Amino acid sequence: MMRMHRRSALQLLSATAGCSLVAAAGRAFALASRIKPDAASVLIVVDVQNCFIAGGTLAVPHGEDVVAVINRIAPAFQNVVMTQDWHPAGHASFASSYPGRKPFESIKLSYGEQVLWPDHCVQGTPDAALDKDLNIPQTQLIVRKGFHRNIDSYSAFKEADGKTPTGLEGYLKERGIRRVFVSGLATDFCVAWTALDARASGFETYIIEDACRAIDLKGSLAAAWKRMSARGVQRIQSTDIT
């Protein structure tokens, strides 16, 4: 009986040690897999503006929740770029520009299919202002997009025609940036287009999922993630950044 007790004790000790080793290995892997942004990394904060948060003209559900997440991770980045939707009145993407049309319908424009939106982010209005609670003093550049009256602009890199550049690609490459981390609003439109264009421009690209929120218009969120995954955009959480 004593030998049986000793054997059981040894088995228990062995199992406990094994569990401890597995747990330690798990912690080591988690630490090793975390990402430390360096001088060749940039955080792009997409369209965190009054128009896209609660009370705005095109509010993204829970859009205001991204502000705290972005503020928390921003100090990890030496390089930060923000974007700002900046439409003239009567913009081609506004449903009000087409008699009888309603927001969220689609039409064909010269550059392809265009979702029609409520009037939003009109130049110089409080609706177009960046959220006052963003606290990222090291921001180096604000890219205004969508200011061409006849072309919409989702991406921070190119207008919706797919060929008119904003100049951001050249700016980042001139400064030696190789890794792009995208946050902001909305995941399935401006964030996704920015990430896809970043990949097309040769940048290693990450979307910080919990630092974004989506509109999810007719399955647009799932479709956006499918496109991004196919192009090599990596999907991470804010806790993956150290």
Q: And the tokens for 104?
A: 């969220």
Mapped onto helix, strand or coil, the DSSP state of residue 19 is helix
Sign of the dihedral defined by the CA atoms of residues 178, 183, 187, 191, in that order? negative
The CA distance from 95 to 106, in Å, is: 9
Strand pairing of 112-115 and 106-109? antiparallel
Helix H segments across the chain?
2-33, 66-73, 168-174, 192-200, 220-230
Number of H helices, E strands in the chain: 5, 8
Residues marked as catalytic: 47, 145, 190
**Cβ atoms within 10 Å, residue 113:** 9
Q: Which residues are bridge partners to 112 per DSSP?
A: 109
Q: And the tokens for 236?
A: 């991470």
> For residue 84, which amino acid is it?
Q
